[in-house]
Amino acid sequence: MPGFEWLGKEETKAVNEVMQRGVLFRYEFADQRQGVYMVRRFEEEFAAYTGASHALAVTSGSAALKVALAAMGVGYGDEVITQGFTFVATWEAILDCGAKPVFCEVDESLCLDPEDLKKKITDKTRCIVPVHMMGAQARINEIMDIAKQAGIPVLEDTAQAAGCTLKGKHVGTFGAMGTFSFDSVKTLTCGEGGMVISNDPELYQNASEYHDHGHDHKPVGRGNEGRRFMGMNFRMMELQGALGVTQLAKLDKMVATQRANKAALKEALARVPGVSFRYLPDEAGDSATFLAWFHETPEAATRFAGLLAEEGVPAIPWGKNTWHAYPHWEHLHAGASLAKSGWPFDRPEGRAEYDADALPQTDAILSRCLSWQIMLGWDEARLKHMTEVINRVAAAM
């Protein structure tokens, strides 16, 4: 999965050229930078790659979520529905906007369950945030239908799924906005960084202004007067933009490599009694950053994981994961905050409370789920060794 495996002379050259120009800031200094704007170029090329009309580069995937939610007008008094299997940044951004996250179950797609979504919508629901977890598609068409009927916009958290498509259409382009992460373990990496995409020019303009203290950037400048609203600083710098341009050129080959490596291991796992795989709305469009599978019981998953670890090829037991699984977000359940007022959990209308046992379906699914992160650097020898391990572990079960 991580693009850092393929960092090479192309990235070094691109970064060195930025350093030689001496401008790290994404705006201004036209003469000194010789008319070269790497962040702007990254945005233009990423928009073209995904098929979006607009793209805005920011400092991280977490920042992308915050900027997109702000652009959509999400704030205090609003509820935002998301899923109970995601990285903590999804709900942190919601809380940071002043809104309340409302958590949905996931199904065996390991993404938001449309049936539970229907139950969670209220008159306070301002936005729905499905997450394309682990490189594969959520049931986004079903989610979009439900959202359209309710008149609620969708923001796609596509942090882990750059290069993923559904029937040829890039995820992140189905909803009103989509967000991506380019941190150190993502397929396309800038070390840190993120992107917001949209086909809505008004939402894009809101995001563009908000991410840079309210400056309007019309047409491409900065510092114009007449700011419409306050913002913050979530600007990407030129070094990240240079890395992004270079890595984007490799993304299709990265995804193809991940798909080949995943297919080899999936074929071996498919022969293991009691193993089944996550539901993929479009297997051909999966970016293949992870191979996830289920055992019939939590006990079987735990035993299989233990045997894999003994063989030196440990799998991720999602039922015990503290970064992505709702039952283990102890700081959310405790309502822990640095604010002396208790914000954003303590509110004028009452405390926002989150019960660790509130998503039994998600807990049950994750307790049977294991996965491997698919690496770009695996060669035939590595894949053969992992296949042999699968065979030995299966025989020992």
Burial class (CB in 10 A: 0-12, 13-18, 19+), 287: buried
Burial class (CB in 10 A: 0-12, 13-18, 19+), 283: middle
Q: Which residues of 308-344 are buried (b: 16+ CB within 10 A; e: fewer)?
A: beebebebbbbbeeeebbbbbbeebbeeeeeeeeeeb
CA triple 386-390-395, angle to 5 deg: 150
Annotated catalytic residue within 186, 250, 262, 266: 186
CA triple 179-181-187, angle to 5 deg: 125
The tokens describing 68, both together, are 């997109």
- Other beta carbons within 10 Å of 361: 16
Note if 186 is an active site residue.
yes
CA triple 170-214-126, angle to 5 deg: 55
Rounded to whole angstroms, how far apart are CA atoms 224 and 39? 20
Do 370 and 305 form a contact (C-beta atoms < 8 A)? yes
Distances (CA, A) of 173 to 176, 178, 248: 7, 6, 17
SS3 222: coil
Residue with token string 């019960």: 355
Chain-centre distance of CA 365, in angstroms? 20
Helix (H), strand (E) at residue 141? helix 140-150
Strands 54-58 and 169-170 turn out to be unpaired
Residues contacting 312, CB < 8 A, separation 6+: 389
Distances (CA, A) of 44 to 37, 177, 197: 11, 16, 11
Q: Report, as residue numbers or ranges, the catalytic residues.
A: 186
